[in-house]
Protein backbone atom coordinates (compact mmCIF):
# COMPACT_ATOMS: atom_id res chain seq x y z
CA UNK A 1 0.00 0.00 0.00
CA UNK A 2 1.32 3.42 -0.95
CA UNK A 3 1.97 5.56 2.12
CA UNK A 4 -0.07 8.76 2.23
CA UNK A 5 1.61 11.93 3.42
CA UNK A 6 -0.33 14.93 4.63
CA UNK A 7 0.82 18.51 4.36
CA UNK A 8 -1.83 20.10 6.58
CA UNK A 9 -3.86 18.96 9.57
CA UNK A 10 -6.97 20.42 7.92
CA UNK A 11 -6.81 17.56 5.39
CA UNK A 12 -7.76 15.01 8.05
CA UNK A 13 -11.08 13.41 8.84
CA UNK A 14 -11.38 12.37 12.51
CA UNK A 15 -13.27 9.32 13.77
CA UNK A 16 -14.27 8.02 17.22
CA UNK A 17 -15.68 4.49 17.15
CA UNK A 18 -16.36 1.56 19.42
CA UNK A 19 -14.91 -1.76 18.28
CA UNK A 20 -18.31 -3.06 17.17
CA UNK A 21 -18.70 -0.04 14.85
CA UNK A 22 -15.37 -0.51 13.08
CA UNK A 23 -15.11 -1.88 9.58
CA UNK A 24 -12.51 -4.53 8.80
CA UNK A 25 -10.41 -2.15 6.68
CA UNK A 26 -10.09 0.40 9.52
CA UNK A 27 -9.14 -2.28 12.02
CA UNK A 28 -6.53 -3.58 9.60
CA UNK A 29 -5.17 -0.04 9.17
CA UNK A 30 -4.74 0.53 12.95
CA UNK A 31 -2.99 -2.78 13.38
CA UNK A 32 -0.75 -2.06 10.39
CA UNK A 33 0.21 1.40 11.72
CA UNK A 34 0.76 0.13 15.26
CA UNK A 35 2.97 -2.68 13.93
CA UNK A 36 4.87 -0.31 11.60
CA UNK A 37 5.80 2.00 14.48
CA UNK A 38 5.82 -0.03 17.68
CA UNK A 39 7.21 -3.30 16.32
CA UNK A 40 9.29 -2.37 13.25
CA UNK A 41 10.41 1.26 13.81
CA UNK A 42 11.02 0.80 17.55
CA UNK A 43 12.42 -2.69 17.04
CA UNK A 44 10.22 -4.11 19.80
CA UNK A 45 8.59 -7.49 19.66
CA UNK A 46 5.50 -7.43 21.85
CA UNK A 47 1.90 -8.67 21.94
CA UNK A 48 0.00 -5.74 20.43
CA UNK A 49 -3.35 -7.49 20.22
CA UNK A 50 -4.15 -7.64 23.94
CA UNK A 51 -7.98 -7.85 24.05
CA UNK A 52 -8.25 -4.21 25.16
CA UNK A 53 -9.27 -3.13 21.66
CA UNK A 54 -12.59 -4.94 22.13
CA UNK A 55 -13.73 -2.56 24.90
CA UNK A 56 -11.96 0.57 23.69
CA UNK A 57 -13.11 3.64 21.85
CA UNK A 58 -10.80 4.14 18.89
CA UNK A 59 -9.75 7.65 17.89
CA UNK A 60 -8.16 7.97 14.49
CA UNK A 61 -7.58 10.24 11.53
CA UNK A 62 -7.75 9.47 7.82
CA UNK A 63 -7.18 11.64 4.78
CA UNK A 64 -10.06 10.18 2.80
CA UNK A 65 -13.49 8.87 3.64
CA UNK A 66 -13.80 5.29 4.87
CA UNK A 67 -14.10 2.36 4.22
CA UNK A 68 -10.76 2.16 2.37
CA UNK A 69 -9.02 5.10 4.04
CA UNK A 70 -5.45 4.86 5.32
CA UNK A 71 -5.13 5.64 9.03
CA UNK A 72 -2.67 8.51 9.61
CA UNK A 73 -2.97 8.76 13.43
CA UNK A 74 -4.47 6.50 16.06
CA UNK A 75 -5.10 6.12 19.80
CA UNK A 76 -7.42 4.07 21.91
CA UNK A 77 -9.37 5.20 24.96
CA UNK A 78 -9.92 2.64 27.70
CA UNK A 79 -12.65 2.90 30.30
CA UNK A 80 -11.87 3.23 34.02
CA UNK A 81 -10.73 -0.04 35.63
CA UNK A 82 -9.87 -1.54 32.24
CA UNK A 83 -6.16 -0.88 32.77
CA UNK A 84 -6.00 1.73 35.57
CA UNK A 85 -8.52 3.07 38.09
CA UNK A 86 -8.81 6.12 35.79
CA UNK A 87 -9.69 6.23 32.11
CA UNK A 88 -6.65 5.63 29.94
CA UNK A 89 -5.26 6.53 26.54
CA UNK A 90 -2.89 4.14 24.83
CA UNK A 91 -1.33 3.02 21.56
CA UNK A 92 -0.86 6.70 20.65
CA UNK A 93 0.77 6.66 17.22
CA UNK A 94 1.21 8.80 14.12
CA UNK A 95 2.33 7.73 10.68
CA UNK A 96 6.07 8.29 10.12
CA UNK A 97 5.23 10.01 6.82
CA UNK A 98 3.07 12.63 8.52
CA UNK A 99 5.22 13.74 11.43
CA UNK A 100 6.33 17.29 12.14
CA UNK A 101 2.92 18.93 11.67
CA UNK A 102 1.72 18.70 15.27
CA UNK A 103 -0.47 15.70 14.57
CA UNK A 104 0.54 13.95 17.80
CA UNK A 105 -0.55 16.98 19.79
CA UNK A 106 -3.96 17.07 18.10
CA UNK A 107 -4.36 13.32 18.62
CA UNK A 108 -3.64 13.57 22.36
CA UNK A 109 -5.95 16.60 22.73
CA UNK A 110 -8.81 14.79 20.94
CA UNK A 111 -8.24 11.64 22.99
CA UNK A 112 -8.23 13.58 26.25
CA UNK A 113 -11.41 15.43 25.26
CA UNK A 114 -13.09 12.09 24.52
CA UNK A 115 -11.98 10.67 27.90
CA UNK A 116 -13.47 13.67 29.69
CA UNK A 117 -16.72 13.35 27.71
CA UNK A 118 -17.12 9.60 28.25
CA UNK A 119 -15.76 9.46 31.82
CA UNK A 120 -16.21 12.93 33.36
CA UNK A 121 -15.68 11.81 36.96
CA UNK A 122 -12.27 10.25 36.32
CA UNK A 123 -8.76 11.40 35.63
CA UNK A 124 -6.68 10.01 32.77
CA UNK A 125 -3.68 7.72 33.22
CA UNK A 126 -1.17 6.73 30.54
CA UNK A 127 1.91 4.56 30.31
CA UNK A 128 4.31 6.91 28.53
CA UNK A 129 7.63 6.08 26.96
CA UNK A 130 10.16 7.88 29.17
CA UNK A 131 11.59 9.95 26.31
CA UNK A 132 8.07 11.42 25.74
CA UNK A 133 7.54 12.48 29.36
CA UNK A 134 8.08 16.17 28.53
CA UNK A 135 5.58 15.98 25.65
CA UNK A 136 2.86 14.62 27.95
CA UNK A 137 3.72 17.11 30.70
CA UNK A 138 2.62 19.83 28.26
CA UNK A 139 -0.93 18.36 28.52
CA UNK A 140 -0.88 18.61 32.34
CA UNK A 141 0.11 14.98 32.90
CA UNK A 142 2.47 14.38 35.82
CA UNK A 143 4.66 11.35 36.48
CA UNK A 144 3.43 9.21 39.35
CA UNK A 145 5.71 6.19 39.15
CA UNK A 146 9.32 5.24 38.96
CA UNK A 147 10.70 4.34 35.54
CA UNK A 148 9.78 0.78 34.57
CA UNK A 149 10.36 -1.41 31.56
CA UNK A 150 7.39 -2.19 29.37
CA UNK A 151 8.36 -4.43 26.45
CA UNK A 152 12.02 -3.56 27.20
CA UNK A 153 11.39 0.18 26.68
CA UNK A 154 11.65 2.60 29.65
CA UNK A 155 8.20 3.93 30.58
CA UNK A 156 6.67 6.05 33.30
CA UNK A 157 3.05 6.11 34.45
CA UNK A 158 1.54 9.58 34.11
CA UNK A 159 -1.80 10.99 35.28
CA UNK A 160 -3.85 14.05 34.42
CA UNK A 161 -6.51 14.84 37.01
CA UNK A 162 -8.04 17.85 35.20
Residue 41 burial (C-beta neighbours within 10 Å; 0-12, 13-18, 19+): exposed
Distance of alpha carbon 72 from alpha carbon 74, whole angstroms: 7
Which residue would you say has higher pLDDT here, 44 or 108?
A: 108
Domain range summary for the chain, segments of one domain joined by +: 10-160
pLDDT > 80? residue 135: yes
How many residues are listed for the chain in this entry? 162
Q: What is the percent of the chain where pLDDT is above 90? A: 77
pTM: 0.91
Tell me which of 97 and 147 has the higher pLDDT: 147
Region 75-101 average pLDDT: 95
The predicted structure's pLDDT at residue 7: 67
**Correct CATH for 10-160 of 3.40.50.2000, 3.40.50.300, 3.90.79.10, 3.40.630.30:** 3.40.630.30
Q: What is the pLDDT of residue 97?
A: 87
Q: Beta strand pairing status for 87-94 and 124-129?
A: parallel
**For residue range 105-129, what is the model confidence (pLDDT) as tens digits?**
999 999 999 999 999 999 999 999 9
**Is the predicted pLDDT of residue 98 greater than 80, yes or no?**
yes
Helices (H) and strands (E) in the chain, counts: 3, 8
Amino acid sequence: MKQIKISSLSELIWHEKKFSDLNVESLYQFLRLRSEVFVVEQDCIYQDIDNNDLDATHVYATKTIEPNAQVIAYARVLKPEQKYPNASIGRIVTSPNSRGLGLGKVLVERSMKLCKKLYPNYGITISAQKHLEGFYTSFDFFSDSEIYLEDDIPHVRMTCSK
